[in-house]
Each structure stands twice: as C-alpha cells, then as structure tokens.
Amino acid sequence: MNKRNKFIVLCLLICAVSTASCSSNNIISTSNDLLELYNSSSPLPISTVAQPDVTEPEVSIPDDYYPKVIEDEKYYKIVEVDNFQYHYYIYDSDKNAAKEEGTNGREPSISMINDSIVFFYIQFGTGPLTGYSYFYDVKNNVFSDKFGCTYDATAELLIYYSDQKIIVRNIFDKTKYYKEISEFKNISKNQHLPSSIRSACFNEAGNKVIIEYLTDDDFTTTTITVDLYQ
C-alpha cells in the first residue's frame, strides 16, 4: 500500500471512530476491518536523513583546578575550594587570619569601606532578607555584629533593615549613634517594607539618609531625606 492509500485509510479510521452517534455495531465492525487493513500494510520507510549530533560535550576539570583563588587582597582572600564551595580569610594588620570560614553554594562578597574597614556580605537566596553582612576594623582588630539587608555604609555608620524599620547606627558601637526611621507615608499596602524600599543611601557629606520607596497601589516612587543630626 502506498502512502496516499495509507493516508486515506487513516482518515477513514478517524471518521469511523468520531461518528459514535451512528449505529454502534456497524462502527465497531467497520473500525475492526480498517484496523486489520492498516496493520497488514507494509510500514512506511524510515527517513534516512542524518540527524544532528546533540550530544553534550564533556567538560573535564583539570585535577589541579582547585583550589582556585578568586580574590587575594591585603586584608582578605576568597578561594573556591571545590565546585560552588568557597573559603574566605579576613586578615589583621599583621596578615594573620582574624577570621576564616567556608560557604556552600554562594560566593561571598568582600570589599573595603576605606583603607582599614573590611565589609563582608553573603546572600543565600533571593530577596532582601536572605543575606547578612558584617564589618571588620583592621586597626582595632574588632568585628561588628551581623546585620541583615544592609543598604549602605560609611567608615562610621551603616543603614540596614530590621523589624519594619530602617536603622542607622554606628557600625561597631550603637551607643555612639543609633536612629530608627519608621514613618513612611502612603507606603504600598501590598508590599512588605524591605520589598518597598528601592534604595537607602548616605548623601555625600554623610549627615543625611536618602530613601526611595514605593507608595500606593500604583507603586509610585517617593523620596524622603532624613537629617541624622536634627
């Protein structure tokens, strides 16, 4: 049976099955006859067109690939010890390790606020509340507390979120400076505060905080400026 005849047989088969409102005995008999005719026919030839090779190339990692140094600076170092496994070091002024830890899955971010304040940050998921940060004062060999959702920092102060408030405080000693900002007019009712905050940063002089956040249900951006010493 050629291809055209086979196509006709298939069409008849489909029509026979789809007309179930007709006499059931005739339909079943006709369908069985058509199935026998179709099954007894010779199969269609299999295409001999060459198929593209979609085999993924093997990626081989050299035996000496790990450990891999990601960053190596005066006061810190980040090393990838295995696939997505990192080890980091924070050094004191004598290049001794003041702190060393390992992380899985996420590469930590380490930078310098100035020439002697180290800033560490790592995020474990998505969203502003899935990470934490801390600071290290090299000159005084002092670590800060850990802070969640840090927005900005100077050599003395930082801005971070906690308990539905934006907090500005001294990095290492909150008795020297501490201020809470909790009044946000017309903030979007459908947004948790950390999701509404678009940015929070110090001005160039470092005596004011500029906060942009979403207001109302149409997510309009509102900007407020808070004087830290008034």
Residue 36 lies in a domain: yes
Residue 47 falls within a domain, yes or no? no
How many domains does one find in the chain?
Answer: 2
What are the distances in angstroms from CA 57 to CA 49, 54, 100, 103, 184? 23, 9, 37, 30, 54
Looking at per-residue pLDDT, the higher value among 9 and 154 belongs to 154
pLDDT value at position 40? Answer: 52
Name residues whose C-beta falls within 8 Å of residue 93's C-beta, 6 or more positions apart in sequence: 138, 139, 141
**61-93, pLDDT tens digit by residue?**
666 788 999 999 999 999 999 988 999 999 999
Neighbour-count burial of 194, counting CB atoms closer than 10 A to its CB (0-12 exposed, 13-18 middle, 19+ buried): middle
Give the residue from 45, 29, 36 showing the smallest Cα distance to 9.
36
Predicted structure pTM score = 0.70
| Domain range for 10 | 3-40
Q: Is residue 128 part of a domain?
A: no
Domain assignment of residue 32, yes or no: yes
Residue 45 DSSP one-character state: P
Which tens digit of pLDDT belongs to each residue from 177-201?
Answer: 999 999 888 876 666 777 889 999 9
Residues 148-167 pLDDT 10s: 999 999 999 999 999 889 99
Is residue 86 situated within a structural domain?
no
In a domain, 141, yes or no: no
Q: How far apart are the first and last CA of the chain?
A: 94
89 in any annotated domain:
no
pLDDT digits (tens, 9 = 90+) for 100-148: 999 888 899 999 999 999 999 998 877 767 889 999 999 999 999 999 9
Q: Is residue 74 part of a domain?
A: no
